[in-house]
Structure 1
Amino acid sequence: MKAVFAVPATVLLVLRAYSKKSLTPGGIVAATLTAIAHAVHPWNLPFVLLVVFFLAGTRATHVKENVKASLTLKAGGSSGGEGPRTHVQVLANSLTASILSLLHAYQLRSRERALLAHHHETSDAAGSLCFSWGGDLLVIGIIANYACVAADTFSSELGILATGQPRLITSLTLRKVPRGTNGGVTLTGLAAGLLGSVIIVTAAMLFLPFCSDETAARPGGGAPWSIEQRRTLILGLTVWGFLGSVVDSVLGGLFQRSVKDVRSGKIVEGEGGVRVLVSSPGGAAAGVHRPEHEKDMGADIKSSLLHGEGEAAVEDTSSAAVEGEVGADRYDPRNKHRRSSFGDERPSRIVESGWDLLDNNDVNFLMAFSMSIGAMAVGSWYWQVPLSSVFPTTRAQ
């Protein structure tokens, strides 16, 4: 992409992200580097897809933002909703596309140099390197990446507003779950995912330099596309992007733990897509190390009164066990070691579904990477183009 367009566009995106507080400082740095990786490509396509995804995703995030914030809780206890996206979230969605874009840019530059050497053409003439029928698989991977992450973003941000309660996609009975549960799907969310895929694929079709009968005759040209072949590509990529949102739901439902606040019945969301901690027997969040001088005097006493683990843990409620050790009324507000007065003293957070193997960013990256590689594999089979063609080569087409 020409610097005269890429530089101002990148600056405007950074200023918009800063003014809207849609990205953290680290997120802005990551987004800038990602924009540069996309802008060095000779075509406008990768940069345009990045911009469309950022703008469309941001818009979807702000749809009924106040309503969505009331449907979940943040790990700190306040209302949920999307905060500024971190550098990890930016890279989870765009790192695969950045790598594929850089690889394809290298391929195009190599072919351009080969054309100049063999045909003694000018740079403009050699620039007719177009996207041919049965063409570069890396291009398919780039488009598939953004179609899938856009579908996932739209599905998550708009699906939570559905009137019906979500159903867990990994449950054999498709049981109902609270809004915001990983793996919870609704018809509204699925339709929104399809819309996100359509937006990206439409932008791709507008900016893909398809080979035509005219460009095919020029150095660097390739097999021209028919109308029917273009329709096949559009349909295939749109469906693939939609499937990306479904795969993300399956991965999230299986490998990402959803934590529910018992009091409100709402799902607890981690800041920046990180894991949500569940209260441990010691009273501190599980996995959190507290320095010795910060520990509660009554923490060891409370821990010793627990029987069982996790959700099955039950605390001894006898007065002798508590008042005898602490020496004060267990509900006395002046006693900082007093017990919680929450009903039968169940844990305040419980696991709703999923194994605690991945966080939200891990799931997003795994989905984007696997679906991009999968799209290239399907293209390799359909076009009978070897997957080895994705590696840099100086051979002119």
Structure 2
Amino acid sequence: MQLLYGFLLAIIISFLAYKAHSLNKSGAIAAFFIGTIIFGIGGWQWAVLLLIFFITSSALSRAFKKKKQNLDEKFSKGSQRDAGQVFGNGGIPAFFAALNFFYPNEPILWLCFSASLAAVNADTWATELGVLNKTPPRLITNLNKVVEKGTSGGISLTGLIASLAGSGLIAFFASLLTSNWSLLFIITLAGLSASLFDSFLGGTVQAMYFCPTDNKETEKHPTPHLWHSNHSPSRLEMVG
């Protein structure tokens, strides 16, 4: 019965997100599959935590859309998420939720699930709010080097604070939902560390392409495919 409820809830959430322009068609389909696994197998606590991530990250993306409008080409992501972003953000959490079916009520799975969501939430908040920093970011692999806003591997004080807040939010609710406050520090630290690791990957292995039309670098490939997108470092970030 729980799986059926999860199936129905995933349909509703995916449809509403599509109608709200938070997801495109491929993103809505991907969200349906991810949601069915997490809602249907994990249960209500897992569903609540996923929804907190999705709602807050989508709200931030929409709220500051105009602020980073000029960076859209560089980011390879916008306020409307596609299947690559949904699987990149939700694939690892869904994996831990699926394991919960075979090992129900295993505390380590909740910890891993929460930490993986904290990681993507930290990264999302850092991305959305970091561009608001008044001074240009610095490259994480060389803090003496100033880079343009939106550059992969660039970090700023605003971004770091946003990353900590995003991770802390997930950690707070993960602890609240289980009444286990010993998780608060662990999950917050894990999420922040993973976000910094993602920035490191962005500054070292993130693919950058030259757009001859705009005469500038971008994360978007001229013929985009999932396997060479910016979402691959995000998956590595959560595994790390």
Q: Which of the residues 102, 113, 124 maps onto 1:106? A: 102
Letter paired with 2:130: G
Is 1:152 aligned to 2:102, yes or no? no
In structure 2, do the counterparts of structure 1 residues 170 and 259 end up closer, same or farther at CA, with 3 Å as the change threshold? farther
The answer to whether residue 108 in structure 2 is matched with residue 137 in structure 1 is yes
CA distance 1:233–1:106, change in 2 (3 Å) = same
1:163 aligns with 2:163: no
Question: What residue is the counterpart of 2:239 in the other structure?
Answer: 369
Query: Which residue in the other structure is 1:183 paired with?
Result: 153
In the TM superposition, 1:204-219 aligns within 5 A as 204-208=174-178
Please name the residue that 1:317 is paired with. Answer: none
Where does residue 65 of structure 1 map in the other structure?
65
Tell me what 2:195 maps to: 245
3-state SS in 1 of match to 2:148: coil
Deviation at 1:92, TM superposition (A): 0.8
* Aligned amino acid, residue 154 of structure 2: G
Secondary structure of the residue aligned to 2:54 is: helix
| Aligned partner of residue 144 in structure 2, secondary structure | coil
What's 2:183 paired with?
A: 233
Give the match for residue 89 of structure 1: 85
Following TM superposition, the consecutive aligned residue runs of length 4 or more in structure 1 with deviations greater than 3 angstroms are 1-9, 257-267
One-letter amino acid of the counterpart of residue 237, structure 2: M
Q: Deviations over 1:328-361 (max 9, x none)?
A: xxxxxxxxxxxxxxxxxxxxxxxxxxxxx95311
Question: In structure 1, what residue type is equivalent to 2:73?
Answer: K
- How far did 1:269 drift? 4.3
Identity of aligned residues (%): 27
The structure where helix makes up a greater share of residues is 2
Amino acid at match of 2:155: V
1:74 maps onto 2:73 in alignment = yes
CA 14–263 in structure 1, closer or farther in 2 if over 3 Å, else same: closer
Structure 1 unaligned spans of 5+: 109-128, 130-134, 211-229, 278-286, 289-356, 371-397
Question: What is the one-letter code of the residue matched to 1:179?
Answer: K
What does 1:303-382 align with in structure 2 at a 5 Å threshold? 359-370=229-240
TM-aligned CA distance change 1:42 to 1:168, over 3 Å: closer
Which structure 2 segments of 5+ residues have no match? Answer: none
The equivalent of 1:19 in structure 2 is: 19
Deviation track 1:17-66 (CA, whole Å, cap 9, x = no partner) reads 12222212111111001111012235422211211111111011112211
**SS at structure 1 position matched to 2:81:** coil
- Describe the superposition over 1:267-321 as per-residue Cα deviations: whole angstroms up to 9, x where unpaired: 5342xxxx3x5xxxxxxxxx89xxxxxxxxxxxxxxxxxxxxxxxxxxxxxxxxx
Give how far 1:231 is off: 4.0
Secondary structure at the residue paired with 2:66? helix
| RMSD after superposition | 2.9
CA distance in 2, matches of 1:43, 1:83: 28
Relative to structure 1, is the Cα distance of residues 263 and 106 closer, same or farther in structure 2, using a 3 angstrom cutoff? closer
* Larger Rg belongs to: 1
Counterpart for residue 213 of structure 1? none
Write out per-residue CA displacement over residues 337-386 of structure 1, whole angstroms, 9 at most, x where no aligned residue: xxxxxxxxxxxxxxxxxxxx95311111111122xxxxxxxxxxxxxxxx
**8 A Cα contact 2:49 2:174, kept in partner:** yes
Contact persistence 2:219–2:229 (CA under 8 A) = no
Q: How far off its partner does 1:103 sit? A: 0.8
Alignment size in residue pairs? 238
Alignment check: 8 A CA contact 1:182 1:253 kept: yes
Q: Distance in 2 between matches of 1:180 and 1:248?
A: 14
Aligned with 2:23: secondary structure?
A: coil
Q: Is contact 1:166–1:176 with CA below 8 Å preserved after alignment?
A: yes
The AA in structure 2 aligned to 1:255 is: V
Look up the match of 2:30: 30
Amino acid at match of 2:145: R
Equivalent position SS for 1:150: helix
SS at match of 1:74: helix
| Distance (Å, rounded) in 2 between the aligned partners of 1:154 and 1:239 | 15
Structure 1 residue 190, shift from structure 2 partner: 0.5
CA pair 184-81 structure 1, distance change in 2 beyond 3 A: same
